[in-house]
């Protein structure tokens, strides 16, 4: 049987929607193209002296890596034709970018973290690009401060030993693997299901002094000896949320980035619109969940483009337990 390419899969799903215009189909296919271009830049970065930082910082005050900007440019270019997208927002840009030609035409807005796990860039570690798609707001095209439930599509491209693309349009989560010799993403798993519970947790414990009592108590609970509840869990923290989340999608478990009062992240590190919302949409479509500890991350309506939240994501069992700790131990 012919391999099912990303384009064929998306087209076949479009046919399941009589009213579909084909624009979302084209848009999703473009993320495949962007993923291939970024994978190539990553593979050649060391040879092309593209490792290392620039002198500039992103809107969150983090030093920008050369590849943060290369990936950002590739994603912006990817939607710069065809009239699909009117506005794009990124972790690397202060304000949304409005595509001049289609300011009033493009039906969609795209939001992305072009290079997630930037601290892994220079050491050949796992990296990812995270994306979220919204229908353009009829009120104001740059109105992006919306609930995660308004996403029409979301996903990520994982750059590891293989390059993978994982996405959802609200009808399950599908996983594709880049076959480099033909340059196509091929369907690997249709309708991925996250296990109800796992054995691994991902958190930067080096920061625990800055955490709340509830966050520390939850992580201590994961480490207690109790085989009956599958504890202790194993630590699996790679420095890339996309890499950690992908493991959890397949094996279960939980990723956590709590608020950290000591390192200037009283609201956590992760940005709502282009990190938390898209992964929470994928998680929920696979049977898992994203949470702030107090509410479902998809229900958060941010007050700023680069707003952050404390973030937990993973199997329902671990996320529910985490919320119980936050509920019972937070003042
Ligand atoms: P970037 O998008 O800037 O890479 O930030 C997100 C992230 O790198 C996550 O992928 C990762 O889990 C976390 O930050 C690592 O942060 P820390 O170094 O504080 O543990």
Q: Is 119 in the pocket of ligand 1 (CB under 6 A)?
A: yes
- Scanning the chain, the segments in alpha helix (DSSP H) are 6-14, 23-44, 66-78, 213-223, 241-251, 277-285, 316-329
CA of 82 to the centre of ligand 1 (A): 33
Distance from Cα 12 to the centre of ligand 1, integer Å: 36
| 140 alpha carbon – ligand 1 mean position (Å) | 31
* pLDDT for the residue 331: 57
| pLDDT of amino acid 102 | 55
User: Dihedral through CA 18, CA 23, CA 25, CA 30, nearest 10?
Assistant: 180
Of the candidates 176, 177, 172, 178, the one whose C-alpha atom is nearest the C-alpha of residue 194 is 172
Burial class of residue 59 in the structure, from the number of CB atoms within 10 Å of its CB (0-12 exposed, 13-18 middle, 19+ buried): middle
pLDDT tens, position by position, 152-199: 999 999 999 999 999 999 999 999 999 999 999 999 999 999 999 999
* Ligand 1 atom, smallest distance to 202 CA: 12
User: Which residues in the chain land under pLDDT 50?
Assistant: none
Cα 47 to chain centroid, rounded: 28
- Residue 103, pLDDT score: 54
pLDDT at 20: 81
Ligand 1 contact, 86 CB (< 6 A):
no
Distance 240 CA to ligand 1 centre (A): 6
Q: Indicate the DSSP class of residue 194.
A: -
In Å, the largest CA–CA distance within the chain is: 60
pLDDT for 229 = 94
Q: Looking at residue 130, what is its pLDDT? A: 98
Binding site membership of 116 for ligand 1 (Cβ less than 6 Å): yes
8 Å CB contact between 297 and 276: yes
Predicted local distance difference test score (pLDDT) of residue 104: 59
Q: In what order do the strands lie in the sheet with 163-168?
A: 97-98, 85-90, 108-116, 127-135, 151-159, 163-168, 173-179, 184-189
Which atom belonging to ligand 1 lies closest to the Cα atom of 237? 12
Q: What is the pTM of this model?
A: 0.97
CB within 8 A of 81, min separation 6: which ones?
none
Q: Which of 244, 255, 227 is nearest to 315 (CA)?
A: 255
Structure tokens at 317: 């069992």
Return the residue whose CA atom lies nearest to atom 20 of ligand 1: 204
> Does the CB atom of residue 110 touch ligand 1 within 6 A?
no
Contact 278, 290 (CB under 8 A): no
Residue 311 φ/ψ, nearest 5 degrees: -135, 130
Are 129 and 154 in contact by the 8 Å Cβ rule? The answer is no
CA 122–ligand 1 middle distance (angstroms): 14
Q: How many whole angstroms from 269 Cα to the centroid of ligand 1?
A: 8
263 Cβ inside 6 Å of ligand 1: no
């Amino acid at each position: 049987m012919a391999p099912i390419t990303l384009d064929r899969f998306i087209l076949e799903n479009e046919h399941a929607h009589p009213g579909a215009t084909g624009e979302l189909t084209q848009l999703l296919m473009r993320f495949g193209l962007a993923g291939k271009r970024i994978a190539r830049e990553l593979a050649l970065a060391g040879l092309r002296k593209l490792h290392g930082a620039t002198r500039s910082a992103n809107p969150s005050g983090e030093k920008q890596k050369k590849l943060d900007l290369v990936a950002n440019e590739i994603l912006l270019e990817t939607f710069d034709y065809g009239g699909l997208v009117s506005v794009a927002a990124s972790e690397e840009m202060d304000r949304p970018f409005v595509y001049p030609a289609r300011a009033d035409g493009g039906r969609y807005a795209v939001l992305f973290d072009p290079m997630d796990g930037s601290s892994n860039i220079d050491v050949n570690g796992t990296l990812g690009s995270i994306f979220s798609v919204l229908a353009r707001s009829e009120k104001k095209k740059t109105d992006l401060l919306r609930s995660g439930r308004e996403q029409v599509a979301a996903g990520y491209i994982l750059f590891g030993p293989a390059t993978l693309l994982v996405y959802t349009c609200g009808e399950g989560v599908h996983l594709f693997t880049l076959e480099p010799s033909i340059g196509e993403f091929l369907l690997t798993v249709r309708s991925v299901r996250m296990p109800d519970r796992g054995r691994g947790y991902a958190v930067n414990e080096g920061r625990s002094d800055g955490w709340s009592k509830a966050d520390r108590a939850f992580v201590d609970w994961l480490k207690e000896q109790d085989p009956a509840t599958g504890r202790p869990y194993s630590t699996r923290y790679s420095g890339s949320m996309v890499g950690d989340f992908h493991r959890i999608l397949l094996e279960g478990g939980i990723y956590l980035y709590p608020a950290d009062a000591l390192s200037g992240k009283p609201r956590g590190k992760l940005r709502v619109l282009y990190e938390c919302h898209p992964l929470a949409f994928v998680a929920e479509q696979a049977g898992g969940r994203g949470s702030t500890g107090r509410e479902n991350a998809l229900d958060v309506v941010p007050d700023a483009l680069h707003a952050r939240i404390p973030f937990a994501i993973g199997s329902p069992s671990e996320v529910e337990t985490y919320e119980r700790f936050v509920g019972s131990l937070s003042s």
